[in-house]
Structure formats: structure tokens, C-alpha cells
Structure 1
Amino acid sequence: MRTQMTRLLRYLLLYILVCTTSCSPSIYYGPSAGNWQHFSLPDSTGIAYTVYLLGDAGAPQLDKTEPTLKLLKSQLDRDPRSMLLVLGDNLYHDGLSEVGSQTRDQGEKRLNELIKVVDDHQGKVFFVPGNHDWDYMGPKGLEKIRRQEQYIEAGINKGNTFVPDDGCPGPYVEQLRDDVIFIGIDTQWWLHKYEKPYGADNGCNAGTETEMLQQIEQTLEANKGKHIVIGGHHPFVSNSNHGGFYTVMDHLFPLRLIRDGLLFPLPVIGSLYPFYRQLGGVDQDIPHYRYQLLISRMEQLFNRYDNIIYTSGHDHNLQLHKIDKYIHILSGSGCKTAPVDVENNATFAHSEKGFVKVIYYTNGEVWTEFWSPEGDGDTGRVNYRGKLYDQIRQDATATAACTDTLQAEPVEFRPADPKKKPYALAGVLLKNDYAKEWATPVRVTYLDMGAVGGGLSPFGVTKERDRNSLRLRSAKGYEYRFRPLLRDAMRTVPQQYRGTEVIQSVPETWLPSQHPYAPLIATPLEKAAGLLASSPALHLLPDIDCLEPYKAPFGNRLGFLEFDAEDYRLGHRDQDADDVQELSYTAMLHRLEDDHLHQVNARAFVKARLLDMLIGDWDRHEDNYEWSLTEANGRTLYLPIPKVRDNAFFAFDGFFPWLATRSWGVQELQHFGYKIQNLKGLNMAAKDLDRRLLGSLTPADWVQIADSLEAVLTDEVLANAVRQMPPEVYPLHGDELTQKLKARRVQLPRVAEEYAMLLARYVDVFGSKKKELFEIERLANGDTRITVTAANNPSHTLYTRTFSPEHTREIRLYGFGGDDEFRVTGETGSDIKVRVIGYKEHGRYQFAFSDSLDNSSISYNLRNTIGDKNVIDNTRATYEDFATGDLINSPASDEFRYTRIGPNFTVIYNTADGLVLGAGMQYRPYKFRTSARGGVQRLLYQRSLKTGMARIFHEGEIKDLFFDLDLVSRAWVYAPYYSMQYRGYGNRPAPTDAPMNERVELSNAHISAALQKPFGTFFSLGAGPVLEYFRLSERRNSWVQELLPDNRQDAFGQRSYLGATAFFRTDARDYEHNPSRGLVIDLRGNWFQGVANTSGGYSRYTYEVRYYMSPNLPYQLTFAGRIGGGINTGRYAFYQGNMLGGGLLPDFSQTIRGYSQTRLVGDRSFFTNLEMRVALLNYRVYLFPGKVGVLGLYDTGRVWTRTNNVGGWNRAYGGGI
């Protein structure tokens, strides 16, 4: 016993030594901060502004004032020229719950403690959200963040103090003083897995991560030389838990890392969790791949500018790092503490409660102080003081206007380098029709910068989808944009098909697909159609000094000069007689949502969209239009101004383009041919835009507009438009383009009707924040009429349209929370489903119904609460649809997707079956508010070329069948048989006299269906019935009987079973194929009872765990593991036992690689797989990218039987590609 205890103590001591990670709870000073006490702040009379930083203060003491908050308040009250920035995790543990919930009262008390801090503060205050505020990264995150925003702003009563607004990513920009700028961003938005707002439909300026970065870059560029303090919750470097540093206690008590107070010891096994997080397994930790992407993209911006301080919380301590050109401050110990590490190049780190001050001086110096409270907070002490930087001053608009005029004589210029040859395979399989246009020299004039608007001066750069453009401002205050002709054409390829840098290195392959002078051809067509046109002018930008600091990237570049309209900016073209106010799509959409008297001229926009289809411009997303407004009859109408015609007349012809752009492929890349085809693909980029703005027009309206457009686009108009390209290139394809335009023009009425029918299937009808009356009238013939009027003026019709069930399946009515009223009338039902959808968290919705009307096809996505939030008044009992469990309803969560049908191919190889080829179909239907469409249905036929085995396999999933339950199904039939190798029962099967190629020929069929309840995005439970059938012919398999144990002699003949299955599954992989990080757990129980002359029954319980971990390296290195096994009970045949080997039913999964297919058969089984994968190179086959790598493996496993457990573990090791 003493020996065992001694051994245990040794192991425990060794474990402690191994898992120690050198985290230290003491204060740490870097080499440059050792004598900080010798430095004093400059004279306080020179203080210009102070920023106070408080983070992770969401669980303050409630019985008395939190000491940190007390000390902070005493300083704020005496400092009016200051701002308090609260850096997230404002309320633990999972944000602000709804009124009436168990945690609401405590949540309000905790927030009130923070609000009290600024009761007497005369300066500014801003809160940014953290991951705990987003429902602790949960599915109700958006709901809770908006609720917290309302509560805080109402409590502080200083206007917009919770930023960014409405759960948007930001950036929110505030000028604190002339030379100090605050930028607020929501970093949890970047990391959040569940619903989050995108773009203008949700009131956000940024619709994607890229747009967020672009807007941050524009803000930094516009404020160069000023002090910039950026506030976000997540740090980019940390010497604590989220940075991958853990103490011995973290290894012994890992559950406390998940939630405070969970002090349950888990020695040894507890280390798995810290190790998992260190290798990037949790998206809230710096090693996680998505977190790393956030850091890399942000730091690329920050390190290009001076005078930037990034501030954060998240880890519960105080830290200071100086990273390249920017300062990084972590202030996350408002009410909690966590240990810090003494490495990682920190200037200062301390695991004590406190806050940070950043002090700006009039002489340009910036200092910081790290404060901690003493006792109850009446006093405090400075733990570190130091100067951060001296301001590097720049004038963002210092470049003088270019006033020198240039000679107007044209010069010869070649747009692209003809020496660069396109990718050889693409040259054969892709017809680059415009390669000669790019290589042909043209005569063009220099842009006379001194003559435009009194002189142009550069002031910034805008990163667009396929290039960087130069922003110019005239002496009259108007803004222009110079867009270079040469661009990175690979940016036009959807992100999922771009692959790696290999593709980016060969843009010449794709550039000739785009016509270089498409904008010059499109402009006269737009004008002939009666549309407003941007009128781009082709110029060579001179390489002159007044372009600095943009001379190097833009000097001597050929491109188009266009007028640039920004959000809410009045723009006036010098050459136009009439002033035109232009708005971006985002700005216009805000106005549409605010007031129902603001409307889009839908007929004009249909004309613009038909023109897009005529010229084959498939890239018509929201940013490719700006909007002009006019006043008429008391309404404000918006007219489209098409912009950016890079992808008009797109040449994408050849075998591989044909194959790749099928309806199941990259159908957006549409070739400009003589026939307008694949309207779904051609309009894919614009589908959300069309559905938002064109729901009021019928197919007949579209055809009428198409007829009028066909009439004005005469042969002469088309020919003259094509001749607007430089005369040097017209002979190449000018006549061909003209003939194609003529052929496509006559197709416009057909195209208009077909596309209008596509839009009519699911129609969105939008109200505004003002009060509207929505009338739903069920007509006797089955049609449904929707009428929207202003509630205060019923004669003022805002929308009216009649829908036929022949063309329309569903109508969505979006009330924007302005006390809207919905009135349902009629005497009959309809096959058209109508969804009534409330928007955001305010408004009352009143309903009125006809007594005799069947309302089963009306569903309500609304909140049914108390107070002034989305209350349903006078509502008859009907179907309430909470399809996603989300209580915040917005158009962005209802993204429309086309149903997709495509082929499905599989290639499998194992030693037993040889090469197994499969072919089939895959069907993905669309369904309202299901992120992965409405599910998937797969049908596959597989056949072994070696054994003749054949299988028909079906796998299906239907999302939200009812009550938030999914239906999952599986079925297969082996016809004529499944060929399996059998070597006997047990862990060491006896040798057999049967030839090695003798196989068991087993007929098998399986049908199962289960209702599955998903919890979030990767966790689910399910249960359902199972039907199985087996037939083993004794005539064909008589030799098998010699290898059967005594209790398995009745294996021959037919067996039929009816049973049930239940399962638990979690799948948190980053990628389904070749995952680098994640965890998969699959637990299943199956119970079978014999039917149809089959006696007895049996049960099977299986388990499998897979994990993937990858360190942060410039290449993929993945450590993967798998543990699994099974247990059978009852009476069953040998082919129903637990098998281990190299390829098993139903998906040919390998449990011990290198072994024959069903080498081991027993009552119980256990196996482990260990694997290391290293990526060696990236490649692409035409459009589709891939990776090549090597792997090493080590597998072990064994089975147990009731009568024979001889033998030990079976092992296999090896490698592969």
C-alpha cells in the first residue's frame, strides 16, 4: 500500500511539474519599465484630454460599492475633459435577460453600478460590448446586446453611448477633440457564430468583415496625424488565459475556466482543456484561427499609421504592450482578476483589479497610468506610469491642389503587359476573348488635374473588391474617384473558390475575361434607356509630384475618372446643369426604413436591371449602384445610378467554364453570348437587392418595361455604344459585341417575364418605422391581395399587388415596429403562405380577422411580451412561427437561397473492396430562416470494381419540420449483396481453409428516420424508428459455419428487425473535410426486436470521439485523434457484431487501418486512432483549389467475446498522402 501511495505521489508531482506553465500572479515590469517610479507626469496644465479605460466590470459587488468603481468615479467627477470607455463584458454571465426572467433583477443592479460611475461626470462615456454581453457567445446574443444597449443608454441619458449601434460591427467614430479620435468596434461580432446583423438591412454600414476593415481604413486615412484610440473587447496579445497561458490550478481545476466557482478537481484529464485552448480550440482565445484572422487584418491596418492606441479587456488583468507602430493596452480587471505570465514581450502586466488612464498633452505627448484601488476604493495607487509616444503630426489633406494644366495631346499607352502569358491549361480550356484588347496600345489623354473643378488633390485610397482606387477632391469641394483600369481579376471569383496565393499569382489568366472598356460601352446604353449615368472618362493619371503620397501606386496609371458620392453627401457634377443628390445604397435604405414616403422608383430600377442582363453584367451587388433622389407629389423617389461595369460583356467560354457554371457550380460567372441564359446565376449577386426593392411589380410590369427598353435600344444606339471603345481595339471584337447585343435585345421580354416569375415565388413587402396598415385579402379565386397604406391616411396607398398561388408560394410582411396594424379579410383560404414579421424590439401589432376565414396559412414571427415591446393585440389563436428561436426579426436573417440540384460523386478505396465508385444526385431546397437551406437530400449508387458489391444509399435532412425539430433519415440497400471478409469470431480469429478471396455474400437493407432537436449550430439530440433486413445464403456461404461459435450457428436465412435509435451528437469542426480544429462526439443507442419469423432481439451501443488540434504555423500541421467502440447485448448474428478493420458499414469508415475489412468481430470493441497531418503544397485544378500533404498514423484496437478473449491489442502504424 505504501509503495502504491509513493508511486501515486511521484506521478502527481511529475504531473504538476509538466503542466506548470510559468504563469505568475505577481506584478511584472519589462526591461524598459523597471525604473518607472523615476518618471513623473508632465505639468497638468498641459493636459488636453484623458481617456479612462475600464473592462470586464460586469459583476461588481452589490452589498457595497466595488472599490475599482469607487476610485474611478472619484477621478472622473473631477475631470470634465475626459471620456470613460467601458471595454465590454459589462454584465456577467450571459448578458441582460428579458423582463420577468430570474436573472433580470440582478442584471439591472449590476448595470446600475456601472451607470452610477458617470452620474456626475461631465465628459463623454462609451460602452462597447464583449462576448459575455452577447449571451456568452450564445444564440440569443443579438437580442441581449440590443436589450443592454437600450437599458444603458436610457440609464445614462447622454444619447448614443453604447457603440457600435444595434449589434453592428462598427466602426463607430467620435471626435473627442480636434486631434483625438475615438473608434469603437465590436470584436465579438467578428467571432460570433449565431445571428448577427449584416449591412443596410440591419442598419449597419458594414455588410461584411471586409467592409468593416475598409471603413476602419478610411477612418484612419482621413485622420492621419491625429491621436486615435480604438476600443474593442478582444485583445490582440495577452499574457494570460486567452493568450494561451495557464497555471497549475487551471490544469487541476479546468472547469473554473468555463465558469467561476466550478472548483471540481480533474487531475491529468483536466489538462486536456487548457491544452485544447492553447492549440486554438476555442474561438475566444487568441490561438483560434478566426481570432488570428481578426488580429492579422487589424494589425495590417494599425501598423500603417502612427499615433494609434488599441484598447481591450477580456483577460482579467492589466497589461501594456508596444507592438510595432501601435500601442496595445489591456484593461480587463474591473471586478475580476486572473494570473499573468512574465514573458511575451510585455512592458507591464499585473493581476490586480484596476483601470487605466491615457493622458493626451497639448505638446503631442501621450502618457499612461495603471491604477488599482486600496481598501474600499477611497484611495488608490499607481502601479505603472510611462510615456507611450510623441505625436507624429500629418495633415490628412495637406496635399495642395494640382493647378498646373497639362497638354491635351493624346499619348500611346498599353493597358497590360503582353509579355505575360496566361496559364497554359487555361489557354486551352478557357477562351480569353479580350486578351488582345488588353495588349493593344491605345491613344489617351492625361487627366488635366488642374482643369477639373478648379484643381484636384488626392486625399485617400479606397480598397474595392478588385482594386484600390484613388479619392480626389476638387477645389469646389466635390469628390471624385480614379479607378485604375488594371485590376486583380481574381477578386471577382467568389471567396470559396479562390484558394491560396497560387491563384492570386496568376491574375493574367482571368483578366482577359473582363472587357477593359466595358464602362465606356455601357454609359450610352444607360443614357438611351433614360437612366442616370456616371459617365466615366478614360484618362492617364499623370506621374506628378502633387499626387504624393499616392504617386507611386497611381502615377502613370490608365483608368476612369468618376464622380464619387458618399453617404449623405450632396454631389454635383460640374458638367451637368441640374444638381443631383446621390446616396449610397446603405444611406438610401436607412431613409426607406425611416419613412414610408421615401420609395424607390421600381420601374426605373427594373429598367436598369434589364440593362444589366442585356450586357451580361453578373456582378451587380449593392455597392454597384448609387441613388439619386427627387421630390414628387409629397414623396421622395430614388432613381438608380449604375456604377462599376467591370464585368459587363464577361468572356467565360470553353469546356471548363461550361462545366463550372452549371446550376450546381459557380453559376455566377456567366459568359456574354448570343443568348441570355441561367437567370439565377446571372442575377445571383443582385438577388437580395431585387427582392428588397422590386416586390411591388408584377411579371406583366416587367414585360411592359422590357418592351419599352427594346424599342429605345435601336440598332444604331447599340452600334454607337460599342464604338465608344478606343478605335484601336474596336476591330478586334466590336462587330461581334454589336451582334450579340442585338440578339440579346430581342430576348428582353422573355427574360423579364422569366426573372419576374423567379422573384414572384417568395415576395418580401416592407413597411417603415412609421405606422402602416397591412391588408391581407383572401380572394374567392384563391389569390391574395396585399395592400399597404399609411395608417394615418388610408387613402395614401404605399403598396398594392395581387398574388396567384400558381406563381407565389409565400409572402413576407415586415412591420418595422411602428405600431403597425394587420387586417386579414376574405371568405376563403389560400395556398399562399403569409408571414407577418415584426422588426427589432419595439412596436405594437394589432390584428383583425374575418370570423369565417381559415387563418392556418398565416404565421407570425413576433414577440408576445409585456410593456411597450412588440405586443400582439386582439390575436386569434393561430400558428406562431419562431423558426430559429430568434426573437429579433430582421430581413438579414431571412437570406433567400435558390434550391440547388447537382451531381454527387464519391471515390473510395480499401483493400477488401478495392476501388468503389459512386454517382448520384444532391438536392438542397430553400426554406425560410434555415441557415443551411431547408436541409439536404442525397441519393447515391456505389459499386465495387473488385467484388461486384453494389449499394443504393439515401441520406436526408429536412430542417424545421415542426416544433423546431428536424427530420433526418438514412436508407440503403445492398443489391445483390454486400461482400465482407470473415476470418472468425473473436480477437484472434482462427485460420480458415477457405480461399483468401472467399467472401461472405450478405444481402442487407436498412431504413431509419429520426426527429432531431438541434441546440445551437453543433449540438443535437434525436430519436426515431429503425427497420433492418439481412439474408445470408447457406448455399453460397456454407464454409462460414465452421468459423461460427456455438451460440452463433443460426446466422443463415432471413432476419428482419424493427427497432428504435437514439443519438447525441456534437460537431464543432472548422471544416467538414480536412478539419484543422474541432471536436466531434457521437453517442448512439439502438434497440432491435425480431419480426416476421425472426425471434429474439438485441441492442447495440456505440460511441466515438474525434478531436483536431493545429498550432498557429504558416502551414497546416494538424494532430488528430479518434476514440470509439461498441457494446452488443442480446441475441444476434455474427454480421451484427462489433467489427474492427479497414472499411465498415455503412460509410466504409476504417477503425484499424491496414487490416482487412472485417478482420475482428466481437461482442464489444474499442479502438483508437492517432494521426499527424502536414500540408506540403497548395494546388488548383482550374477553378477549384486543394491541398497535398502527408500523414503519419498509429491505430490500436481489440474486441471481446463472451467465450473467447485471447490475444492482446492489435496495432497498425504507417503513413499516407
Structure 2
Amino acid sequence: MMKFPFSPKKATLSIIGLLWVLSYFWPVAAQAQSVPNDSTATVAAGKHYLRSSFHRFWWGEHYRKVWAEPVQVPFLWISKFQGGVEPLKQGGSFQTKNLRLVDKKGREYVLRSIDKDPSKALPTFLQKTFVANLMRDQTSVIHPYGAFIVPALATAADVYHTNPQLVYVADDPALGEFRAEFAHTLALLEERPDGNWETISSFGNPNDIVSSKKAISQMVKSPTHAVEAGRYLRSRLFDMWLSDWSRREDQWRWAVQKKDGQTFYAPIPRDRDHAFFKFNDGVLTKLVGVFKPNYQSFDKTIVGSNVTGLIKSSRQMDSYLLAYLTREEFQQAALDLQARLTDQVIEQALQTWPPQIRELSAAEFANKLKSRRQDLLSAAEAFYKEINEDVLVPGTDAQDTFEFQFEPDGSLLLFHYTHSPDKEKKLIHQKKFLPKETHSISVFGLGDKDTFVLRGTGKNKMNLKLYGGEGTDLLEISPGFQLKGRKILVLDEEDGNEFGKHQKINKKAYVPAAQEFNGDGWLLRHRLH
């Protein structure tokens, strides 16, 4: 048998490295220079992304011409902005230079470099290799000016949003210790949604904005805290329209709104770096996309398979926050977005770009956004199916009652009640689950004493799992309860629960992982902490 001197993995890396070396030294076009004047600078976001046709064949055309096109940008003097702001700290990911600023009223802003260097996230031994150069080159999949058209689109869609400005950071002594790092940087400047922003309508004029960790922690601790699910759904469909696939929990902040003794959390999307992503236009990048389905490209369609990738980073949060919304509510949200996002709205939003960028991108974006708008209804349908196939329903750390009404057609009505201090039950959620849509439902009691009530004379066609929680929980079987079909699985952590016996109930001893039977543990297990 013939033996190869390299393993297939090493051979593949060698071939990729050779292709990169060849493409790196292939001739490229001449690049424009930056010419600053008194009030503006003419700069290109990333002239280094202009590459040869050979390189582009393998690694994609992406938005290279846009990155290399010089545009006129106003200077930002932080000593003058908002009457003078003070730099607080450098932060952000490995990819982006990020500087937090605070004004005299205590409101914070974020200054983020337009160009990025994802190679800094690599292990040290790879940061001087062709792998790092390839990662840096692939920043060109991002449209450097995409975030600046989002506010006009989001306003029309009734989706909360930040208000980014394109700036060129002046060499201002007020930058202090950050002067060397940030002076002469093309950057995005926007509000940092945190704390009191009651003067900003694009945040809903809240007097408090909190992180996802704080908002979701409060929701699982107390039934008096809840998400504005309809607004979150509209925001998520809007994300799909923009082909923004990076929507994990840190990409959101939550406006706190109090009404009639309840606290509601309204979603504020932030960080649109991955909107309008263009990845599948090179031979090798298209191949990578097969193994990275979340790398969704901004094209003319949003089909069912696109939705799977678009929600990959946020699926747990989507499933939790949208668990009780109906198919009809998903459809109505899509129809409402279609009506709001008119041709005129799209074309006016594209006018916010510098003239040079409009020349390069406006026609393409207008065509794709109008086409994707037609797919919003089918995207909403695919989204609903994805998160309703296997449903996770947590209770709260307060006393909860879950009632299950089994119907003859195999459907299941779920009612979630909470209890006031005087023990009065109050219905907070309900939904009808259909076996043609839902394969399994897992209900978590979490903290305090919880009750599961089984009633009806129906047929169980779904895998129903009931998890007790901290405290002594009760399984109550109503008179006349009769069930055909699958058995119900009750997982008992054996801390004094009162789980009755029935021929259609399987009881199983269970040791919770990561203390999942209380709110904090459930968040940790499902990566929402």
C-alpha cells in the first residue's frame, strides 16, 4: 500500500497555504490615498482588501471594492462631541478596536473601528501564519457601511435601534492614553444602550436599559417580569431580512418598562457587523459554508434552510422568548413587516450612504432587500416550525402551576399559572400544541413548590417530559383523566415530591445538571446566563 508523506489534513492545509501565497503576490490594482482637510478626511475603510482575480476566485469577491473606495468622512473631536466626552475604557472583542466614552450626563457611547482583525482571536502560534492572513482577509465579507442604513429601515419596521455615525477620529489630546491607538481611525460612533436613555425614542424612551443576562434572569425568577414577545419576534424577522445571523444574547439590550405591577423587557438589537454578510462567492468560502450553516449570505432569498442557519446562534433564546406565540402571530408579524418596508423606505435608507458607496452598492441592496421582503412570510413559517419542533418551557422561581389538557385529536393545551401572595391563581401563558408541529415538550418547574395538573380524555402524540424543581412539587391527576398513546415522563430529583401513580406515567429518578432545577441553573444549562 502506498504511504503518503502528509496526512490528508496537513495536505489540505498545505494546498490552501499555497493558494494563499500565490494569490497574495498576484498583481493588484493601484490604491487611493487618504487626504485629510480641516473638517473632513477622505479615507478608504480597507484598501488592503483589494486583491487579484486569482485570489478572488478562491476566496471570494465579497465587498472588496467597497472597502477600498475612498469616502469623505467628518472628523470626530471627542473634546467637542456632546459638549465633550471622556474616554472610559478600551473593550470589545479581539476583532475590533472599541472605546467607551461617557458624556457629562453619564450616558455612554461606543467608538468601534470599521476595520477588524479576527486573526487576533487565534492561538499565538497561528498569528504569524497564512491562517491569520486568511482570517484577516475574510473581514471583506462584511459591508463596512451596512450598519448605517439600518436605522432608517428599523424605524419603518418599528424595531428599536442604535443610531451609528461614520466618523474619522481626530488626533485629539482628550483621547489621553488611548490617543495612539484610536487617533486617525475610521470608526462607527453610536449610543451604548445601558442605563437611562429616556430622551432617545429609538430605544423606546426608557429610564433603564439592562443586559440580556439581567433581563432573562429576572424573567425566570419572577412571573411579574416578562419579555415583549411580539416586539422580539418582529425584531428577529427583521434580522432575517437583513441576513444578520450573529444574534446571540450579547447582541441585545432590553428597555425596562413597568405597567400595572408588571415589568416588561423590550428588545434593543445592537451591533450590526454581520448584517448583509457576503460569503458564498468564492470556491473555497462556498465550501466552508457547507460546514458553517450559520454563515448565511445576503442574497435574494430567505428559504427554510436559510432560517436554520440564521437562528443557529440565538436558537435557545428564540425558543425561550417565543415559546407561547402562535403560528398566526408569526404570520401577522411577517405581513406587517412586508407592509412597512416599502420600496420607498428601502430607497431612502440607501441614500444615507456616501455617494461613492451608493454607486457601488445601492442597486444591489435595493434589489435584494425587495426580493427578500417577499420571502418574509415563508421565513416566518420556517422560523415557527424550527422553534416549535422541540419546545422548552421553563417556569419561574416562584410558585407555578402547569395544567395540561389532552384532546382527542392529539393536541395539547398548556396553561401556565402563577400564584399571588394570597394564593390566587393567575393565568400568564397558554398555548395549543399540535402533534404535526411539535415532537417534544419539556416543562421545567424550577424553584419553589410547583404543581403539574393532568386532565382530559385525549391522546398523547408528543414526548412530554415534566421536570420538578427545588421545593416539594406535586403531580395532580384530575378525576376522569384518561390518556391514550404515549406515556408521560416525570423526572423526579427525589427531594420529597408528591408524584402520584398512573398507568400512563413513567417516573424516573433524576439528578439535575448544573442546578438546572432553579432559574440560574436553567439559564446556565441552556447557555442564556
TM-score of the aligned structures, taking structure 2 as reference length = 0.83
Deviations 1:478-515 (A, max 9, x none): 1111111111255899x9xx998532233442121100
Cα pair 2:280 2:286 within 8 Å, conserved? yes
Distance in 2 (alpha carbons) for counterparts of 1:522 and 1:826: 49
Match of 2:28 in 1: none
SS at match of 1:631: strand
Cα pair 2:390 2:441 within 8 Å, conserved? yes
Cα pair 1:430 1:653 within 8 Å, conserved? no
Unaligned ranges ≥5, structure 2? 1-36
SS at match of 1:689: helix
Structure 2 counterpart of 1:832, one-letter code: M
Match of 1:671 in 2: 297
How far has the Cα of 1:451 moved from its partner? 3.8
Distance in 2 (alpha carbons) for counterparts of 1:837 and 1:674: 43
Distance in 1 (alpha carbons) for counterparts of 2:509 and 2:180: 55
C-alpha change, 1:685 and 1:775, in structure 2 (3 Å) is same
How far has the Cα of 1:455 moved from its partner? 1.6
After TM superposition, the structure 1 = structure 2 runs for residues 995-1144 of structure 1, keeping only pairs within 5 Å, are none
Distance in 1 (alpha carbons) for counterparts of 2:150 and 2:119: 22
Match of 2:75 in 1: 446
Match of 1:660 in 2: 288
The reply to whether residue 610 of structure 1 matches residue 237 of structure 2 is yes
After TM superposition, the structure 1 = structure 2 runs for residues 676-687 of structure 1, keeping only pairs within 5 Å, are 676-677=302-303, 678=305, 679-687=307-315
Match of 2:27 in 1: none
The reply to whether residue 799 of structure 1 matches residue 445 of structure 2 is no
Deviations 1:687-717 (A, max 9, x none): 1120121111122211111001100000000
SS at match of 1:467: coil
SS at match of 1:674: coil
Match of 1:100 in 2: none
- Name the larger-Rg structure: 1
After TM superposition, the structure 1 = structure 2 runs for residues 406-417 of structure 1, keeping only pairs within 5 Å, are 409-417=39-47
The reply to whether residue 631 of structure 1 matches residue 254 of structure 2 is no
Structure 1 counterpart of 2:435, one-letter code: P
C-alpha change, 1:499 and 1:690, in structure 2 (3 Å) is farther
Higher strand proportion, which one?
1
Please provide the CA RMSD for this pair: 2.7
Pick from 220, 230, 235: which aligns with 1:593? 220
C-alpha change, 1:861 and 1:536, in structure 2 (3 Å) is farther
SS at match of 1:527: helix
Structure 2 counterpart of 1:725, one-letter code: W
Deviations 1:49-97 (A, max 9, x none): xxxxxxxxxxxxxxxxxxxxxxxxxxxxxxxxxxxxxxxxxxxxxxxxx
Structure 2 counterpart of 1:798, one-letter code: I
Distance in 2 (alpha carbons) for counterparts of 1:794 and 1:857: 31
The reply to whether residue 817 of structure 1 matches residue 447 of structure 2 is yes
After TM superposition, the structure 1 = structure 2 runs for residues 79-158 of structure 1, keeping only pairs within 5 Å, are none
Structure 1 counterpart of 2:91, one-letter code: T
C-alpha change, 1:647 and 1:882, in structure 2 (3 Å) is farther
SS at match of 1:503: helix
More displaced 10-residue stretch of structure 1: 424-433 or 883-892:
883-892
Distance in 2 (alpha carbons) for counterparts of 1:624 and 1:573: 22
How far has the Cα of 1:794 moved from its partner? 5.5
Match of 1:826 in 2: 456
Cα pair 2:86 2:101 within 8 Å, conserved? yes
The reply to whether residue 709 of structure 1 matches residue 337 of structure 2 is yes
Match of 2:402 in 1: 774
Match of 2:63 in 1: 434
Deviations 1:284-334 (A, max 9, x none): xxxxxxxxxxxxxxxxxxxxxxxxxxxxxxxxxxxxxxxxxxxxxxxxxxx
Higher helix proportion, which one?
2
Deviations 1:888-913 (A, max 9, x none): 334357659xxxxxxxxxxxxxxxxx
Match of 2:90 in 1: 461
How far has the Cα of 1:656 moved from its partner? 3.1
C-alpha change, 1:767 and 1:746, in structure 2 (3 Å) is same
Match of 1:724 in 2: 352
Unaligned ranges ≥5, structure 1? 1-406, 866-870, 897-1217
Cα pair 1:830 1:857 within 8 Å, conserved? yes
C-alpha change, 1:492 and 1:621, in structure 2 (3 Å) is farther
Cα pair 2:169 2:184 within 8 Å, conserved? yes
How far has the Cα of 1:579 moved from its partner? 4.3
How far has the Cα of 1:454 moved from its partner? 3.2
Distance in 2 (alpha carbons) for counterparts of 1:524 and 1:747: 21
Distance in 1 (alpha carbons) for counterparts of 2:340 and 2:187: 30
Number of matched pairs: 475
Structure 1 counterpart of 2:260, one-letter code: N
SS at match of 2:214: helix
How far has the Cα of 1:519 moved from its partner? 0.9
Match of 1:748 in 2: 376
Distance in 1 (alpha carbons) for counterparts of 2:379 and 2:347: 22
SS at match of 1:549: helix
Distance in 1 (alpha carbons) for counterparts of 2:260 and 2:71: 49
Distance in 2 (alpha carbons) for counterparts of 1:735 and 1:492: 35
How far has the Cα of 1:734 moved from its partner? 1.0
Distance in 1 (alpha carbons) for counterparts of 2:375 and 2:500: 48
Match of 2:148 in 1: 520
Cα pair 2:209 2:254 within 8 Å, conserved? yes
Q: Which of 1 and 2 has higher RCO (CA within 8 Å, sep 6+)?
A: 2
Pick from 875, 883, 895: which aligns with 2:500? 875
SS at match of 2:413: strand
More displaced 10-residue stretch of structure 1: 519-528 or 843-852:
843-852
Cα pair 2:443 2:467 within 8 Å, conserved? yes
Deviations 1:957-992 (A, max 9, x none): xxxxxxxxxxxxxxxxxxxxxxxxxxxxxxxxxxxx
Pick from 829, 833, 858: which aligns with 2:488? 858
Match of 1:844 in 2: 472
C-alpha change, 1:884 and 1:425, in structure 2 (3 Å) is farther
Deviations 1:1132-1156 (A, max 9, x none): xxxxxxxxxxxxxxxxxxxxxxxxx
C-alpha change, 1:570 and 1:452, in structure 2 (3 Å) is same
TM-score of the aligned structures, taking structure 1 as reference length = 0.37
Match of 1:542 in 2: 170
After TM superposition, the structure 1 = structure 2 runs for residues 276-675 of structure 1, keeping only pairs within 5 Å, are 409-418=39-48, 421-422=50-51, 426-464=55-93, 466-489=95-118, 501-566=129-194, 569-572=195-198, 578-654=205-281, 655-662=283-290, 665-675=291-301
